[in-house]
Amino acid sequence: MNRFFYPRLAWDGLRKNRRLAWPYLLTCICMVAVFYIMGFLSSQGTLALLPVGKSSAAIILTLGKWVILVFSVIFLYYTYSFLIRRRAREFGLYNVLGMGKRNLVRIISWENLITFAAALAGGLLAGILLSKLAELGLMNLLNGTVNYAIRVDVDSVVLTIVCFAAIFILITLSAVIRTARASAVNLMKSENVGEKPPKGNLIIALLGIILLGVAYWLAVSMANPVSALQWFFVAVILVILSTYLLMVTGSVRMCRILQGNKKYYYKAKHFVSISSMAYRMKRNGAGLASICIIATMILVMLSTTTCMWFGAEDSLKTNYPREINLTTHLYRPEDLSDENLRPVEDAIRAYVEENGGTVSNIRDNRAAMLFGKPSEGTVQCDYRMQDSFTSLNEIIEIDLVPASRWAAEARSSEENILDGLADDEAVILTDSGASWTRDTITLAQGSVSKTFRVKAVRAAEYEAGSGESIVPRITMFVPDIAKAVEGFASELYSERQDVQVSWYYSFDTGLSDEENIRIASEVEAIAVRPLRDTGKTAGIRSSWAESRAGGSADFYGMYGSLFFIGILLSAVFLVAAVLIIYYKQISEGYEDVKRFDIMQKVGMTKKDIRSSVRSQLLTVFALPLVFAGLHLFFAFPMIRKMLTLFSLYNVGLFIRTTVISFVVFAAFYAIVYRLTSGVYYRIVSNADTHEM
C-alpha cells in the first residue's frame, strides 16, 4: 500500500468536510495565536518596555495566558466532538467496506496531525504578526515605551508548541477511543438516532432549581468582599451545573408542552421545528446551556474589567487620598495624642517646605481598631481578621476615635453633638453596611467588658475617595480612647494585638511627581525619628509612606493588564460562542434536511420552510440570552462587593458598564443568529445539497 495513502485519505476527508473542518481549523489557529500573544506580552522583553508596574502586569498577563490554555483544552475538545460526530457515518462506511479499526485510527491520527501542523503554522504566524499590535495596545494603556521593532519570543514559541501538542494528543486519543468502541452499525446510524428524554426529569429539574437558588442566594447574601471572593467560585460552579440541568430538562418540558398544544403544534411552520427539537432534546438543551454560560462569562468579564479601567482614577484616589500618604501603627492609644504627633507633623512640614513644597489639604485620621461579633448589644472583640475568614459575615469593625476628631472623621459641622460627652458615653457613626439601634453598646474582650451609653447615631458621609471598610464599620467617638479600652490591658499589649492603633496622615505638596516620589521615601524616616526620640511612646509597630505618583504606575499596570486581558478573553469567548452557534445550526440542519425534504414532497413551500426555521430560532433564541441576563443580575451584588477589594465603590459606573455590555452583546448575539440561520435554511431547503 502506498505510504501516502492514509495522509491523502485524511486530507481528502478534511477537504470534503470543509464546512465543519475549516471553522474548527480557524478556531485552533485563533487559540494558538492568542496563547502565543499572551506569552509574548508576559515575557521579559515586553515587560522591560514598561516604566514601572512590571510585577503586577507580569502576574496578570501570566495568569491570563494559563486561563487561555485551560479554555483551549475545554473548548477545542468540545468543538471537535461536533466534527467527529458528523464523520461517524463516513467512518462506519469505511468499516463496512472492510477497513479495520486500526485503519480508522490511522486516518483520525493523520487528520489531527494535519490540523495540528496547519493550526501551529497559521497560529504562530498570526501570533507573531499580531503580537506587535497587541504590545502597542498594552503600552498605550500602561504608558509604556513604544517600540516598533518586530521580535519573536522563542520561549513562547516552544511553550505554545508543547502545550498544543498535548491538547491535540488528548483530542486524538478521545476520538480513537470513541471510534474503537463503536460498531460499524452504530457509526452508520449515529446521526439518525433520536434522543430519549432523561430519566427522572422532574427530579433533575428540581435539583437544577435548588442549585440555582443556592447560587443566587450566595450571590446576594454576602455581606463583605472577602466572603464574596471566597464563595464566588462555588457560586459559579453551581450556576454552571444548574444551567445545564435546567436547559436540558427545560427543553424536554417545552417540547412536550408545545406538542400538547394542538392549535400551535399542527401548523406547517411549527410542526417540523418542534419535532426536530424533540428529536434531539438533550443535545439541544446542552448546546443552549453552553452558549448561556459563555455569554455570562463574556458579560461578567466585560462589565468588571471595563468598570475597573474607567474607575481606575477613583480607585487610585481611594488607595492614595493625597499626594503623600503616611501610615503608622503604634502600640498604645495614648500615643495618638496631639502632644506626641505634633512634632512629627512639624518635622514633615519643615522638610516639605525646605524642598519647595507646601503641606496642604491635610487628612489626619486616628483610631484604635477592633473586630468583633455583635450579639444582643455586646461586641465580643477577641476576634482578629487574620484568625479566620470563614465567618466574616458575622464580623463588624469598631473604630474608637477621639471626640476631638469629629469634624475631620464625620465631615460634619454638628460639633455640639459632642458637648458634655462623658467617659462612658459615645457618639456612633455607621457606614452603609452597619447599623446600631440600641441605647448602649458593650465592648468585651476576654473577661473584661466596657459599656457605653449611645448619645447619638449618625450615618457616615465619607470623603470622596476614602471608601468603605471590607466589613460593616461602626466608628465610636469617645472623649479619650485610652480610657475607653482601659481594662483591656492584658489582651491589648499581648502578642495577639487585638487592638490596632493607627495614625493615617496624608497631604498634598504641590510638587512634581518625581519630587513627591523622592519626598515619600524620606517621610517615613522623618516620621519615625520624633516618635522615637521623645521617649514618650511605647514604640512604633510599623510605619511606611507612599506617594500617589509612585503607586500609580504599578496600580495602572494591574488595572490596565486586567482590562487588556478582559477584552482579549472576551474576544476569544465570542469566537467560541459564534462557533458553537454555527456548529449547532450546521449539525441540526443536516439532521433536519430529510424531514424538510419529506414535508416539501407533501406540499411544504420554501416560504413555509423559512417560516418554520424562523419559528424554531425564535423558540430557542432568547433562552441563553435571558438566562445570561438573569445570572448577571443576581451576580451583580457579589461582583460589586468583590470590586471593593480593588477600591472601586462607584456603583453607578458598574451599573452603566454592565448595561452597556449586555446591550452590545445582545446586538452581536442577534446578528450571529441571523447569519447562521441563513446557513441552516440553505441546508434544509436543499439550496445547498453538498454533503460533507
* Banded model confidence at residue 188, pLDDT cuts 50, 70, 90: low
pLDDT at position 183, please? 64
Cell, residue 468: 468603605
201 in any annotated domain: no
For position 342, what pLDDT does the model report?
A: 87
Question: Looking at residue 2, what is its pLDDT?
Answer: 59
Do 165 and 246 sit in the same domain of this protein? no
Are residues 143 and 119 located together in one domain of the fold? yes
pLDDT, residue 681, reads 73
Q: 378-383 and 440-445 as β-strands: parallel, antiparallel, unpaired? A: parallel
What does the H/E/C string look like for 136-199?
A: HHHHHHHCCCCCCCCCCCHHHHHHHHHHHHHHHHHHHHHHHHHHHHCCHHHHHHCCCCCCCCCC
pLDDT of amino acid 121: 94
Q: Note whether residue 144 is domain-resident.
A: yes
Please check whether residues 387 and 459 belong to one and the same domain.
yes
Whether 527 shows a pLDDT value over 80: the answer reads no
Per residue in 90-107, pLDDT (tens digit) is 676 766 666 777 777 888
**Between 175 and 225, residue with greater pLDDT:** 175
The contacts found for 45-49 with CB under 8 angstroms, 24 or more apart, are 45/151, 45/153, 46/135, 46/138, 46/153, 49/135, 49/139, 49/144, 49/145, 49/146, 49/147
- Highest-confidence segment of 420-424, 443-447, 452-456, 568-572: 452-456
Same domain, 617 and 689: yes
Instruction: Give the pLDDT confidence score for residue 412 in this predicted structure.
Output: 62
Contact 455, 436 (CB under 8 A): no
- Give the domain range for residue 509: 324-545
Average pLDDT, integer, range 489-510: 69
pLDDT score for 200: 45
The more confidently predicted of residues 438 and 228 is 438
**352 shares a domain with 306:** no
Domain membership flag for residue 198? no
In this structure, the answer to whether residues 87 and 222 fall within a common structural domain is no
Q: Are residues 414 and 298 in the same domain?
A: no
Least confident of 6-20, 484-498, 508-522, 553-567: 484-498
- Tell me which of 193, 223, 258 is where a domain ends: 193
Task: Evaluate if residue 493 carries a pLDDT over 50.
Answer: no
pLDDT at 182 over 70: no
Query: What is the pLDDT, as a whole number, of residue 674?
Result: 79
What pLDDT was estimated at residue 583? 74
% of the chain residues with pLDDT over 90: 10
From 193, 224, 256, give the residue that closes a domain: 193
**More confident: 561 or 199:** 561
| Residues 118 and 221 both lie in one domain | no
**pLDDT higher than threshold 90 for residue 160:** yes
Task: Report the pLDDT value the prediction gives residue 214, as an integer from 0 to 100.
Answer: 92
Assigned domain for 202 exists: no
The tens digit of pLDDT for each residue in 40-54 reads 888 888 777 766 556
Q: What is the pLDDT of residue 390?
A: 43
Count: domains in the chain: 3
* Nine cell digits for residue 631: 445570572
pLDDT higher than 80, residue 363: yes
**Share above pLDDT 70 across residues of the chain, in percent, rounded to a whole number:** 75
Please tell me the predicted confidence (pLDDT) of residue 464: 44
The residues near 321 (Cβ < 8 Å, ≥ 6 apart) are 363, 463, 465, 466, 506
In a domain, residue 206? The reply is no
Predicted pLDDT at 435: 81
Task: Copy the grid coordinates of residue 411.
Answer: 465631615
Residue 509 lies in a domain: yes
Q: What is the mean pLDDT of residues 338-352?
A: 87
Q: 388 pLDDT exceeds 50? A: no
d(CA 612, CA 589): 12
User: What's the confidence (pLDDT) of residue 394?
Assistant: 74
**In this structure, are 352 and 301 located in the same domain?**
no
Burial class (CB in 10 A: 0-12, 13-18, 19+), 339: exposed
Which has more pLDDT, 3 or 22?
A: 22
* Contact assessment for residue 370 and residue 381, using Cβ atoms and an 8 Å cutoff: yes
13: Cβ contacts below 8 Å, ≥ 6 apart: 87, 90, 107, 111
Q: DSSP 3-state assignment of 387?
A: coil
Opening angle at CA 485, ends 450 and 496, nearest 5? 110
**Over 90: is that where the pLDDT of 157 sits?**
yes
Tell me, yes or no, whether 280 lies in a domain: yes
Q: What is the mean pLDDT of residues 470-490?
A: 79
Report the pLDDT value the prediction gives residue 663, as an integer from 0 to 100. 92
Tell me, yes or no, whether 350 and 231 share the same domain: no
Q: Please give the average per-residue pLDDT across 221-240, as a whole number.
A: 78
Looking at 165, 193, 221, which one is the last position of a domain? 193
Q: Same domain for 171 and 224?
A: no
322-335 confidence digits (pLDDT tens): 999 999 888 888 88
Under 8 Å CB-to-CB from 577, ≥6 apart: which residues?
A: 291, 294, 295, 298, 669, 672
- Residue 195 has a pLDDT of 47
Whole-number average pLDDT of the chain: 78
Q: How confident is the model at residue 490 (pLDDT cuts 50, 70, 90)?
A: very low
Q: Is residue 205 part of a domain?
A: no
| Same-domain check for residues 28 and 71 | yes
Max mean pLDDT range (54-63, 184-193, 451-460)? 451-460
